[in-house]
Amino acid sequence: MGTEIKNLKDLQNTEYGLKKMFAEAEDFLPLLGTDYVELYVGNAKQSALFYKTAFGFQSEAYAGLETGMKDRVSYVLRQDKIKLVLTTSLEEGGVINEHINKHGDGVKVIALMVEDATKAFEETIKRGAKPFMEPIREEDKDGYVVRSGIHTYGDTVHIFVERGNYNGVFLPGYKKWESHYNPEPVGLKFIDHMVGNVDWNEMNEWCEFYGKVMGFAQIISFDDNDISTEFTALMSKVMSNGNGRVKFPINEPAEGKKKSQIEEYIDFYNGPGVQHIAVATDDIIKTVSAMRERGVEFLYVPDSYYEDVLERVGEIDEDINVLKKHGVLIDRDDEGYLLQLFTKPVVDRPTMFFEVIQRKGAQSFGKGNFKALFEAIEREQDNRGTL
Ligand code: FE2
């Protein structure tokens, strides 16, 4: 875990150490990608309408009383490779309501696609993971799925999904969700990364968890010198699986003159959890303008950001005035550049938000934008009285 490298290409080409570690990781926990992300929400029907209207997700599958599910309702929404599951409870009490009561609406499950969910469970448990769900085989007329699960930071869990023998719409127990309301997609393609906020001094512990238990390697690290403004700071490390399809940056708060956004998150979420889901697009201008039109609020970027940004990032294909109009941020690394933009929190508590990202070669996470970004977030915090 000690070796640090600048980008994914370095990481895959490293002769010594990491390559061996990744080879081992690929042996014990090969991940095919993110399968789905499940949120526990107060009102799944209304959240589903929000994600369809504002984010362009499509109606995919449904489970509830009509499909024989007695205690909960789940709506599955899809846009290209991204699957969101919105789940709420039909009962008083229980784990879903407890989760919502403690955290507000938030991510419960980051599901990862595997070839063998039983092996994924055994290998991670052997390496110290805390079990969440023993391997279970679920089947219907379309085949079978095996799922298993382990705990990660806070009340968040990973579920391993083995769906090689299944042709149904989502999972056994779900039916196709037919809707007369089908807003156009906005061009979101896949989940680029998902960020976890953990508590003070817990970042290294959780990076070690991803290293030891899941065979991930650290690809980038930022300290409070990299990520700080006059008032607030945070630390971050990015963990990646061997093929780079699953990347989890982990943030912890750092001391500043005022309360950082990570601390604010931890306070309102009542502990660690998913801070943001970064979704990739091939055309950020098109995606962001569609989302804005449909009511998504993005963080405001001051005009001054664009005055010297080209000096920092060099030549880009896009018209800077168009990027400015849409408030898109730009950053560059050794391999290329990236365009990114962050929504305001999409829930009532100042907790979870989305990032829209378009990579043009760059494999990093927008370090050059952190300062501008944090200053934008501080303005929001100031409005909330939580800075
Ligand atoms: Fe991000």
- Residue pLDDT, tens place only, 198-241: 999 999 999 999 999 999 999 877 777 777 777 777 888 999 99
Residue 160 CA to ligand 1 center (angstroms) comes to 23
Answer yes or no: are the C-beta atoms of 238 and 247 closer than 8 Å: yes
Residue 186 pLDDT exceeds 90: yes
- Between 231-245, 272-286, 368-382, the lowest mean confidence (pLDDT) is in 368-382
Task: Return the structure tokens found at 67.
Answer: 């499909």
Q: CA 95 to CA 216: how far, in whole Å?
A: 29
Give burial (CB, 10 Å; 0-12/13-18/19+) of 182: exposed
pLDDT at 185: 98
Average pLDDT across the chain, whole number: 91
Strands (E) across 152-216 are located at 157-162, 175-176, 188-197
Residues 6 or more apart from 317 whose CB is under 8 A from it?
A: 360
pLDDT at 23: 57
pLDDT at 27: 72
Residue 14 pLDDT exceeds 80: no
If pLDDT is split at 50, 70 and 90, which confidence band does 9 have? low
Residue 58 CA to ligand 1 center (angstroms) comes to 24
Instruction: Give percent of the chain with pLDDT exceeding 70.
Output: 93
If pLDDT is split at 50, 70 and 90, which confidence band does 375 have? confident
Residue 64 CA to ligand 1 center (angstroms) comes to 33
For the entire predicted model, the pTM comes to 0.92
Structural domains for the chain? 31-176 (3.10.180.10), 188-384 (3.10.180.10)
Q: CA 245 to CA 33: how far, in whole Å?
A: 5
Residues 6 or more apart from 98 whose CB is under 8 A from it?
A: none
Residue 341 CA to ligand 1 center (angstroms) comes to 9
Q: What is the DSSP string of 103-156?
A: HSSEEEEEEEEES-HHHHHHHHHHTTPPEEEEEEEEEETTEEEEEEEEE-STT-
Nearest to 279 by CA among 356, 358, 331: 356
Residue 108 CA to ligand 1 center (angstroms) comes to 19
Q: Name residues with Cβ closer than 5 Å to ligand 1, which is an ion.
A: 278, 355
